[in-house]
Amino acid sequence: MGIFDIMGPVMVGPSSSHTAGAARIGYLTRKLLGEKPVRAELLLHGSFAATGRGHGTDRALVAGLLGMKPDDERIPFSFELAEKESLSVKVGTVVLRNVHPNTVLLRVQGAGGRKLEVEASSLGGGRIKICRLDGIETNFSGDCPTLVVHNMDQPGHVAEVTGLLARYKVNIATMQLYRDVRGGYAVMVLECDQPIPAAPLESLSKTEGILKITYLNVDGAE
């Protein structure tokens, strides 16, 4: 952990895991969806389900979905704001297997019709982990510039992506590959040391066999 994981974050209370982490999960989910959400189902698991209401976990998740960061003083009023922004919210509980006690399953739908299912855990101190995207296992935090590529499970896509990043001098810090079945639907998650310029992102999104790309640079400029 770095010194700014120890000191900080600046956040709205009462709990870095149950409130700040939850807001960050909501925020990342909005970014991953790539458009303004209009419908959201929040299913809380474990400690999130047990003490989430008293910790404002539900309000923090909704605040994040509305684009608020963990230090936004409007977090306590997010349900009212969601109504104003026509985001319909349903909150429930769920029992998931083999997950961290602070885990939530979000099903969101965007204004343009995009749908996404995110399973994420809050690990403490406001740090989080995206554990599943549309049911496919992942493991990333969104702390550094992150590229998520959804593609067909075919030879060559990893080389295309990494080759392009190399050409733009973007260094890959970590890389993960997941797929549902052989030859099926695959997800590639690349955490990078530098922000990724718009040009390679544009060209990747047009590459055959690549279904969708999502780029997250949460702490960088919008």
Partner 1 sequence: MAFSSVAGLLNTAKAKNLPLWETILEDDRQGRGTSRESSLKQMAALWGAMKSASKNYSPGARSASGLVGGDGAKMQAFAKSGASIGGPFFDRVAAEALRMGESNACMKRIVAAPTAGSCGVLPAVLIPLAERDGIGDEAVVRALFVAAGFGQVIAARASISGAEDGCQAEIGAASAMAAAALVSLKKGAPEMCANACAMALMNLLGLVCDPVAGLVEIPCVKRNVVGAANAVGCADMALAGIGSRIPPDEVIDAMRSVGDMLPCALRETGQGGLAATPSGIAAAGKLRK
The residues that touch partner 1, with contacts defined as CB under 8 A, are 1-17, 19-20, 47, 50-51, 53-56, 59, 71, 73, 75-76, 124-126, 193
Tell me how far apart the alpha carbons of residues 98 and 89 are, in angstroms, rounded to a whole number: 26
Closer by beta carbon to partner 1, 100 or else 157? 100
**SS3 sequence of 134-152:** CCEEEEECCCCCEEEEEEE
What single-letter amino acid sits at 24?
A: R
Secondary structure of residue 45 in the 3-state scheme: strand
Asked if 196 contacts 215 with a C-beta cutoff of 8 angstroms, the reply is yes
Write down the least CB distance from residue 69 to partner 1, Å.
11
> What is the distance between the alpha carbons of residues 28 and 171, in angstroms, rounded to a whole number?
22
Q: Tell me the closest approach of the beta carbon of residue 46 to partner 1, in angstroms.
A: 11
Q: Token digits for 192? A: 């990078």
**Dist CA 65 CA 48 (whole Å):** 17
Pick between residue 22 and residue 108 the one whose CB is nearest to partner 1: 22
Residue 202 region by backbone torsions, left for phi larger than 0, else alpha for psi between -120 and 50, else beta: alpha
Q: Which is nearer to partner 1, 4 or 208 (CB)?
A: 4
Which of 13, 128, 31, 131 minimizes the C-alpha distance to 73? Answer: 13
- For partner 1, give the closer residue by CB, 194 or 207: 194
d(CA 186, CA 36): 25
Instruction: Name the nearest CA neighbour of 100 among 73, 70, 132, 74.
Output: 132
Q: Of 158 and 172, which has the nearer Cβ to partner 1?
A: 172
**Minimum distance between the CB of residue 53 and partner 1, rounded to whole angstroms?**
7
Nearer to partner 1, 9 or 34 (CB): 9
**Minimum distance between the CB of residue 120 and partner 1, rounded to whole angstroms?**
18
CB of 3 to partner 1, least distance (A): 4
Least distance CB 194 / partner 1 (angstroms): 10
